[in-house]
Amino acid sequence: MSSGNLSSPPVPSSSSGRSPSQSQVPNASSPQASRPRLVPTNSVTLKDGTTVRVRIEVSLAVEDVVRQLCISVKIKDPPSMYALRDEADELVTNENLKKKIMAKVNLKCVSFPSCLSILVNSPAIEAAEMVEKLGARDQRLGLALTSLRKLIREEQFAEEFLNRDGLYELTSIINASQGNILAYALTAMQNLMELDHGWSSLDDDFIYRVVQILSAPNSLINVCRPATAILKKLVEADPLTAPGGAPMASSSKGPPEQPPGSVYRFGFEVVYEQMRKDQRLLETVVNRLGSADTTMALYSMMLINSLLAHASDTRWEEFIGEIERLNVSKAVVRLMSSHTFEDLTSCILDFQANMIRVMYRKKHTFVEPGAEPGHAASLNYVWVNSRVREDPDPDGGTIKWRRLGFDSEDMTQEFGEVGVLGLDCMKQFVAQDPDFFAKVIQEQLSRPAERRCPIAKASNEVVDLLSEHWAIYGPGYSTSPTFQPFFLNFFRVHGLATHFFLRMWNESAATLGDFSRVTALVRSQVKNALRKENARAWHEVEQDFNECEYQAVRERQMRELELEDDVMSKVPIRNMRAKMYKESFEFVRQQRIHCLMQGAWFMNAIPISSNASRDTFRKPSRPWRFMRLDNNLKYIHFVDSAAKFVIRGIEELPDRIDVTLISEVATGTCAPFPQAALRGDQSLDFTLGSQMSASALSFSLLTTSSSSLADLIAPDASRWADWVDGLNMLRRDGGHSSSKETEMFVQALTEIGLKIRLLNLSGDKADIPSGISAGHPPANSDFFFSELYDSQG
């Protein structure tokens, strides 16, 4: 048939199961005798088992198809009242019409008074009926909310639902309901919030209601899951992370103004203000990390990660204090050994990356006891528990902090290299055993000045060594693809290493001039004790620090020195390595994103997670998928195909995924379709997919609600690393690295860059000092840099 024609669904013949002949409705502008074009045939299965065949021209818009069907079956109502759906109840739109017709999907059938048709109610009609049912609050409410959970995902329905004040009805139900009705309503709200518009009118009362739901320890699991996801979405709807803005950037001028109706008007500040009204919330969320329901643990982990990633400057210290008080890191460490849900791996790696940022920020926050009451309180705690008195200084003033092992009385300068992180570690070291700390201080003060171990200085040095070991070089830089339980026990490791420093000092009969030598011993032991972090038990780490003898450590260190020049351990070189690490990470990040922009072919796969729905396992009509990131880094364009072919331009990729919808990049989640499925064996039961083993090259793109945007298997390990790490690095919260390949590249580039810099220094025979003293800051700003002055003439 000619362009513009479609076949009318004829009345089925009396022979059940057979396809009746097809009667065509010609286009008025085309001759009846024109030769029919070969177009796909779609099936409509009726209630009695009869199959009706219809042919739809793929070049038509859905509105035109519906209009001609209305004419064909003589429906007098306006065509705008009707739409098309497939048998899975998915709405047929202009975007997916061609895909569904070419795939010959079965269409949903509805009975009319005089005939049978593939027409169903339009989104406008369905939305009007839905709002009416929600407003009635009768026995139909549960069934209506059950349907709403699915329909609200369709943008056309959502638009009509919002235009009819459906959001008000939905929030009213959430505010007044309990049990399963509340669970259904929250899930519908969660799905609605996948849109980037339409829910900007949610207010503080609604947020506080969600907080109350989550805070209640006896809330049902099916209620807590969507409530947690809603709170996470509100945290991420931050003006600073709005599309087109600078991600995760703070400004002294405040957040950028958003256009009217923008949902990016919430964020951490708005949500945390409501969280502070109920002190139980964070504690309850942390407790749910140990839930037997792995999906609940996943949602709780995702909420904590969002709060960490979006914490504002004004509330940062307060929030991080709560996270440390509740010992969230300990709960995550337990999760590392007990979790069985693969999606948790990505969340745990995200948490590690967030904690790297926390440590980095603390390390680069100056200790200012005169300006920060918290810093003064921590220093006072250390001083009081030392149980020593101040001594008069012959040069004037008093000797106080020097009695604990500092070089001066200026705490800002003494903690200059380790910042608040160093102060927190020292306070925790004292808190672990105050009596031991006081005893050690008294013992050192009883020795000659030359033989005393500077405990405070040693504590700061250990913080620096651990920061180097775990690459705490900058915000957003985390390349570890494995779990790091020892890192999450940073304070405990610091305590063990500081005790080891003191023991090495005593066993080697060290003097003040041997401080760098003992530091080298501790560095060697840190590297040895913390090896294979994801595989060793905590008691083995304790044994390495507590029982290893001086002579054994010294011999190992000498062997290491034969392989590595001593110059590499000097402070300026360590600082240079940190700078090179950040540059290398950024280079690899850009390379990974460039690979995404080039595109690649993947195999569509079966998700094997325990919560995958049955319809996930339908036979793949097109087993291959090509994906490419656009130049604006906003959408991943893709096409599904029965065979690979050359992609010449992005216009050949009709479908797309919004990058902002990707909340998690879960790995090891999918299995390949059996060959029988790819050959089209309809008898294969795809629900057996949950019993299949996951491919190591598989990954899934998950939304906030844990629904999958794509389930794919990469052709090789390099392509897998490019896309998994690239997508993680593309995320606004920085993400994490999942592959050892990326970690290896960053480390290799760091070492190569460092050696090139050192070749320049050694070629010029420049002397590299063991340390650099910055000195006191200027008393005022009445100065200028001579180089800048000369360059300007």
Same domain? 102 vs 136: no
Task: Measure the CA–CA gap between 396 and 61, rounded to whole angstroms.
Answer: 89
> Beta partners for 638?
627, 655
Which of 133, 159, 192 is the C-terminal boundary of a domain?
192
Cα Dmax for the chain: 114
In a domain, 202, yes or no: no
Task: Measure the CA–CA gap between 7 and 54, rounded to whole angstroms.
Answer: 5
Location of structure tokens 């860059």: 753
* Kind and range of the H or E run holding 284: helix 280-287
- Which residue has better confidence, 9 or 634? 634
In a domain, 330, yes or no: no
In a domain, 90, yes or no: yes
In a domain, 266, yes or no: no
Same domain? 422 vs 546: yes
* Per-residue pLDDT tens digits for 199-251: 999 999 999 999 999 998 788 999 999 999 999 999 988 888 776 544 444 44
* Per-residue pLDDT tens digits for 436-477: 999 999 999 999 989 999 999 999 999 999 998 998 876 655
Of 96, 42, 87, residue with least CA distance to 69? 42
* Per-residue pLDDT tens digits for 53-68: 667 777 778 787 778 7
Same domain? 159 vs 71: no
Of 74, 93, 90, 10, residue with least CA distance to 46? 10
Same domain? 161 vs 141: yes
Task: Measure the CA–CA gap between 488 and 356, rounded to whole angstroms.
Answer: 9
Burial class (CB in 10 A: 0-12, 13-18, 19+), 728: buried
DSSP code for 696: T
Same domain? 555 vs 604: no
Task: Measure the CA–CA gap between 180 and 747, rounded to whole angstroms.
Answer: 51
Identity at 282, one-letter amino acid code: L
Residue 271: other Cβ atoms inside 10 A: 27
Same domain? 26 vs 165: no
- Per DSSP (E only), the strands in 22-87 are 23-25, 41-45, 51-55, 82-84
Task: Give every CB contact of residue 519 below 8 A, 6+ residues apart in sequence.
Answer: 461, 465, 501
- Most confident range (mean pLDDT) of 75-84, 362-371, 682-691, 750-759 is 362-371
CATH code, 47: 3.10.20
In a domain, 284, yes or no: no
Same domain? 45 vs 137: no
Sequence-separated contacts (24+) of 763-772 with Cβ below 8 Å:
768/567, 768/570, 768/572, 768/573, 769/570, 769/572, 770/516, 770/570, 770/571, 771/570, 771/571, 771/572, 772/571, 772/572
* Per-residue pLDDT tens digits for 107-147: 776 655 545 566 778 888 889 999 999 998 888 899 999 99
Location of structure tokens 């092992």: 405
Same domain? 130 vs 106: no
In a domain, 262, yes or no: no
Same domain? 604 vs 635: yes
In a domain, 773, yes or no: no
Query: Which domain, by its residues, includes 495?
Result: 373-569
Q: Domains in the chain: how many in total?
A: 4
Burial class (CB in 10 A: 0-12, 13-18, 19+), 650: middle
Which of 173, 192, 211 is the C-terminal boundary of a domain?
192
* Per-residue pLDDT tens digits for 507-556: 999 999 999 899 999 999 999 999 888 888 999 999 999 999 988 998 88
Lowest-confidence range among 35-49, 323-337, 694-708? 35-49
Which of 539, 569, 599 is the C-terminal boundary of a domain?
569
Q: Can you give the pTM of this predicted structure?
A: 0.75
Task: Measure the CA–CA gap between 168 and 295, rounded to whole angstroms.
Answer: 29
Task: Give 749's pLDDT tier (boundaries 50, 70, 90).
Answer: confident
In a domain, 622, yes or no: yes
* Kind and range of the H or E run holding 761: helix 740-763
- Which residue has better confidence, 456 or 13? 456
CATH code, 681: 2.30.29.30
Same domain? 22 vs 155: no
Same domain? 672 vs 716: yes
Same domain? 74 vs 136: no
Q: Tokens standing for 564? A: 């590595």
